[in-house]
Amino acid sequence: MKVDIGNLLQLQSIDLEIGRLEEEMAEGAADIEARQKSIAARQASIVELEGKLAICETRRRELDGEVEDETAKIKERQTKLMNVQTNREYQSLLKEIEDGKRGVKLREDETVQLLEQVELIQGRLSEQKNLCEAEEKLLAEANAKVATLTEDLTAQKSKVVKSREAKAKDVDAALLKRYELLRSRRNGQALAGVTDGVCKGCYMNIPPQLYIELQKAEQMLSCPSCNRIMFHEKAEA
């Protein structure tokens, strides 16, 4: 039984190392993905800001055209003032001229507001483009680092997997199946040491009689709480 426990402990140690390598590779991939999402969000923001600029520019051209048209009409009415025959017609033209000037003033005010808005948007757009450019540079560097790291970790994992295959052959088929099932359900740890009657897998006390049997090391025993395969582990000095 001690030999079986020893083989399983070695196998578990190998599996935990494989898990660590896979986790490290996954962290690198997750970092790349997070950077890519951040860049995509900035690019979307840039497109949105450019769209707002285009709308502002279109409206500005419309206002320029309206001001130009209204100014021409004002000049035309001012010319007509010289030739009016009645006071009523004169007053009507004056009112049209004043209304036209107010319209021009309102459009000019809107143009000023648009220009201020454009300046603000251009500032934000420039900032987003600079940040996006910097993040793309960092992403390229991160891609290179992760590619190198992944290559190294993959090579390490390949060696460990071969070691795992060799060690698995030393374990009884039925016991190996039980080990694999527990490992899949217990976050990679199918075995747990028990010290002073406490399972280190779930940190629950096991029955005293079961602890006595465990110390005899005559049979394979499982923790009543977490079902991990138990082995006696002496307390550290």
Domain map of the chain by residue range? 17-171, 175-232
Largest Cα–Cα distance of the chain, in whole Å? Answer: 127
| pLDDT value at residue 81 | 87
| pLDDT value at residue 236 | 74
pLDDT single digits (tens) 121-167: 999 999 999 999 999 999 999 999 999 999 999 999 999 999 999 99
For residues 182-193, average pLDDT:
95
| pLDDT value at residue 188 | 93
pLDDT of 1 > 80? The answer is no
| pLDDT value at residue 82 | 86
Mean pLDDT of the chain: 94
For residues 192-213, average pLDDT:
96
| pLDDT value at residue 2 | 78
| pLDDT value at residue 160 | 95
| pLDDT value at residue 234 | 87
pLDDT single digits (tens) 168-182: 999 999 999 999 999
pLDDT single digits (tens) 55-93: 999 999 999 999 999 999 999 999 998 888 889 999 999
| pLDDT value at residue 84 | 85
| Beta bridge partner(s), residue 194 | 199, 232
Topology of the domain comprising 17-171: Helix Hairpins (1.10.287)
The percent of residues in the chain predicted with pLDDT above 90, rounded, is: 91
DSSP calls for the chain: -HHHHHHHHHHHHHHHHHHHHHHHHHHHHHHHHHHHHHHHHHHHHHHHHHHHHHHHHHHHHHHHHHHHHHHHHHHHHHHHHTT--SHHHHHHHHHHHHHHHHHHHHHHHHHHHHHHHHHHHHHHHHHHHHHHHHHHHHHHHHHHHHHHHHHHHHHHHHHHHHHHHHHHTTS-HHHHHHHHHHHHHTTT--EEEEETTEETTT--BPPHHHHHHHHHT-S--B-TTT-PEEEE-PPP-
The percent of residues in the chain predicted with pLDDT above 70, rounded, is: 100
Tokens, residue 166: 């060799």
Question: Residues 66, 72, 76, 81: is their CA dihedral positive or negative?
Answer: positive
Kindly report the pTM of this predicted structure: 0.71
pLDDT of 5 > 80? The answer is yes
| pLDDT value at residue 237 | 57
